[in-house]
Amino acid sequence: MNTPTSVLPGIRRVDKLYLELLFRCNFSCTICYHGEDLKRPDTVTIEQAIGALAYFSSVFDCRSVCLLGGEPLLFDGLPLVLGGARALGYQTEICTNGYKRRTMLAQCADHLDMLRVSLDGGIASVHDSIRRPGSFDAAFDTLAWAAPQMRIGATCTLTADNIATVPTLAERLRDLGARDLYLHRVRPVGNAALSGVTPVTWDQTQQLHEQLTGMDLAPLSVNTDILLPERCPAPSDVVEKLEIAPDGRVYLSCAEVAGPGRPVRFDFDAAALVTA
């Protein structure tokens, strides 16, 4: 019989659960790590999603969840999953491309603590070349709509072509009242492995670190620590991030997402982690 201790030995707590509700998306971005998985029909049910939330709450004392995909606003049961998460005591967040889908977002608003939108550049031409024409303006329209109702933030995947525009993005988010900007380095997996996207160098990220730390961005928080090569979290019995794919693959960091996953998986029917 699998126990949490045997499946994830030494892990006492999961700070934040990232739950992918589906692979399907209304975009196919050049940097997307899902790649061919975007075409897969896999999705979790409302009951399976809430079962996963209950499991991580009771077994790993998790109190924060980000629902994502694919595109989570394409998941019809999203308001019910968010409501279930709130009932279990979770702080709730979704990560979306922010492209239209306003009706669904409005249905989620009462159960949502944070709306996070993916923005891959500080100017429309750069962002839209990665995502789709008009998506930059649509994302900021969504953030402006949400700002009076809930906390807002953004995530940005860094490439050699967009990194110079990130200070401009940070300033615009600050002026809109966003709480944070999460930065990630692009990885050559999925669409990024096929599209010719150029990864950033440590010299480029060091320069961005100097720019961002020298700016007055308050109250916006930016995870500038990931821009330095010496960043290496100390071993711990606490997992900062655990992500589950719709097919049950489990990842314990952003660097693992869309890979083969850990030698464990989440069994949605049993609502438990099991050995793969």
Q: Print pLDDT tens along the chain (276 aa).
A: 455 556 888 888 999 999 999 998 888 888 888 878 778 888 999 999 999 999 999 999 999 999 999 999 999 999 999 999 999 999 999 999 999 889 999 999 999 999 999 999 999 999 999 999 999 999 999 999 999 999 999 999 999 999 999 999 999 999 999 999 999 999 888 888 888 899 999 999 999 999 999 999 999 999 999 898 866 555 578 888 899 999 999 988 665 554 565 788 999 999 999 987
b or e along 195-211 (b: 16 or more beta carbons within 10 Å of the residue's beta carbon)? Answer: bebeebeeebbeebbeb
Whole-Å CA distances, 243 to 158, 179, 262 = 20, 22, 11
Among residues 36, 48, 82, which one has the least CA distance to residue 248? 48
Q: How far apart are CA 21 and CA 68, in angstroms?
A: 6
- In contact, 67 and 269? CB cutoff 8 Å: no
CA distance 112 to 79: 9
Residue 187 pLDDT: 85
Six-digit token string for 192: 């990024």
- Structural domain harbouring 209: 4-275
State the CATH number of the domain containing residue 60. 3.20.20.70
The pLDDT of residue 1:
45
Total domain count for the chain? 1
Stretch (H or E) spanning 141 = helix 135-146
d(CA 116, CA 217): 18
pTM: predicted TM-score of the whole model, two decimal places: 0.91
Q: What gap in Å lies between CA 133 and CA 235, rounded to an integer?
A: 43
CB atoms within 10 A of CB 152: 23
3-state secondary structure of 90: coil
Classify residue 166 by burial, with Cβ atoms within 10 Å: 0-12, 13-18, 19+: buried
Sort strands 242-244 and 250-251 into parallel, antiparallel or unpaired.
Answer: antiparallel
d(CA 40, CA 122): 31
